[in-house]
Structure formats: structure tokens, C-alpha cells
Structure 1
Amino acid sequence: LRQQLLGPKPFPLERMLAIFYRIKEDASVDAEIESLVDIQMQVTSLISKGLLLRMSSGMKIDEVKCKVNIGLETAYGLAARMRFDLGKYLHDFKA
């Protein structure tokens, strides 16, 4: 089955941060992303709001696993509000 049908799966937090920093380096990304000074605080906020679920109890960054807790349409909606072209980075997922 395609992953879209199975739903989100847990991923290492370290991977998410690597993707974030790669996107941040992309020259085509809006400068507003630069305002995200404290990425750890942002991740904590996503978890506390239930948008991201912590799936492991590890304390070290390479031990922490998370899972997205929103649908693809919601992700596209949030990205649109931030003027971020999510489709550019999600090659296998189209809303």
C-alpha cells in the first residue's frame, strides 16, 4: 500500500531537523522562516498543540521519534498561510 493510505509513520526528530535546516538554506524559501530562532521551542510547541506526537521516550535528539498528527490537507493549509510551497518538497504527496 502507498504510505498515503497507511498514514504518517514515526520518524527520528533528527531527520526532521535536518530537513528543516536544508529547506531553510534553500534560497527560494521566504525570509520569514528566518524568524524561527529557537527551533527546539517550535518543536515543543508543535508537540504541546498536538500537531506532532512524540513516539519515544528518549532524551537525546538521536533517540527521539515523532509522528505528524495532522492530515495532508491541513498541512497544505498551514503552509499556504505561511506562503510556503509545501508541494515543492512533498514529491509523492499531492493534496
Structure 2
Amino acid sequence: MNKLDLIIALRDETQISKMEATRVVEIFFDSMRNALKNGDRVEIRGLCSFFVKTYKSYVGRNPKTGEKVPIEPKKLPFFKAGKELKERTNRTSSGRVR
């Protein structure tokens, strides 16, 4: 499922216009981006959580030359699946856990 599929599903489920559904999805993702940018954690109970890890600078190596290269500090977003999502992913069509 991509962003457009999500917009269409929202439109069909709620009977709102495609423009309104697009705006709702944009607000949702913008809010998530802003929260992560501010260092906040985004948690959707039963589904997942998103958070940002901060890495300090370190000295790495160029794999081709072996030369030492300084790596700048960075922040990277991470996704963690929730318990319910993990359980649903591991269920078979009969409802049993694999």
C-alpha cells in the first residue's frame, strides 16, 4: 500500500472527497515528521512506533582504500513494530500462529 492507496481507502471508507482524504493523510504524515524532527517519539498503539536515534561522530574507513574517514554525527529514524502487528503478521489464514 502506498500513500495514494491510503488516500483512496480513506475516501471510500468515510465517503469524503479525494481532496479531503488527501488533506487528512498529509496532516497525519506532516505531524509525524514534525514530531520526529523535534525528537519526539510517535507511537500508534497496536501498530508501531517511530523514534530517532542520535549517533555521535566516529572515525570510519573507506572500504576501497582503507583510508580513515571522519563520520559526522547524525540522526536516523527507526521503526519498531508493535506486539499486535507482529502477531497479525505471523498468523496464517486459518487464524493460527505459525
TM-score between the two structures when normalised by the length of structure 1: 0.26
Name the structure with the higher strand share.
2
Is the helix fraction higher in 1 or 2?
Answer: 1
The structure with higher relative contact order (CA 8 Å, sep 6+) is 1
